[in-house]
Structure 1
Amino acid sequence: MKKADLIDKVAEDVGISKTIAAKAIDSITEGITQALKKKDGKVTLVGFGSFSKVRRKARKGRNPQTGEEIKIKACNVVKFSPGKKLKESI
């Protein structure tokens, strides 16, 4: 499902225009992004799941084309843990 498909679904289910549905979805994604930017960023949507920020350590890797060893810098990544209802429904 793409963002446009999600906007169509929300607009149809709630009975609002696609423009308003798009603004709502943009607001939700912006809110999640802002929360994850904080020091101990975490967003929990009960029943759906949790988004959390995790620090990935620096490590060594290999260039798959040349086989040359490269250094991969430390970085922050987003981790998603599905909630109980989501796990059960899939």
Structure 2
Amino acid sequence: MAKPMTKTQLLAALADAMGSDKKSASAALDAVCGVITSEVSAGGAVTLPGVGKIYCRERPERMVRNPATGEQIKKDADKVVNMTIAKALKDSVNG
């Protein structure tokens, strides 16, 4: 498996694709990340066309096991961020 793209590499690729400098690409990436964070933390969802849908879902209260002792512990309900990958992206990877 290839190493993940770093933020610096992503900014360079984004700036090249936009035909602008890295500073404006950084501002655009920060703005997109900020919008996604605020929307998902408020309970909404964000769809990135061709990539997928990022959303928050609630997990119910459940029993978990402490791996060190094997003891069963009751864990309270919480929220988790999920992402459903778009079919177009899956097809481009597998095609």
Same fold (TM over 0.5): yes
Percent of residue pairs bearing the same amino acid type: 38
Deviation at residue 17 of structure 1 after TM alignment: 1.6
| Structural RMSD (CA) | 1.4
* Superposed structure 1 runs of 4+ greater than 3 Å apart: none
The alignment's TM-score, normalised by the length of structure 2, stands at 0.82
Q: TM-score, normalised by structure 1?
A: 0.86
Unaligned segments of structure 2, at least 5 residues: none
Shift of 1:44: 1.1
Q: Following the alignment from structure 2 to structure 1, what is the Cα–Cα distance between the partners of residues 66 and 6?
A: 31
How many residues align structurally?
A: 89
Secondary structure (helix, strand or coil) at the match of 2:50 reads: coil
Deviation, 1:47, is: 2.0
| Residue 47 (structure 2) aligned to one of 44, 53, 56 | 44
Q: Give, in angstroms, the shift of residue 13 of structure 1.
A: 2.0
Q: 1:61 aligns with which of 47, 50, 64?
A: 64
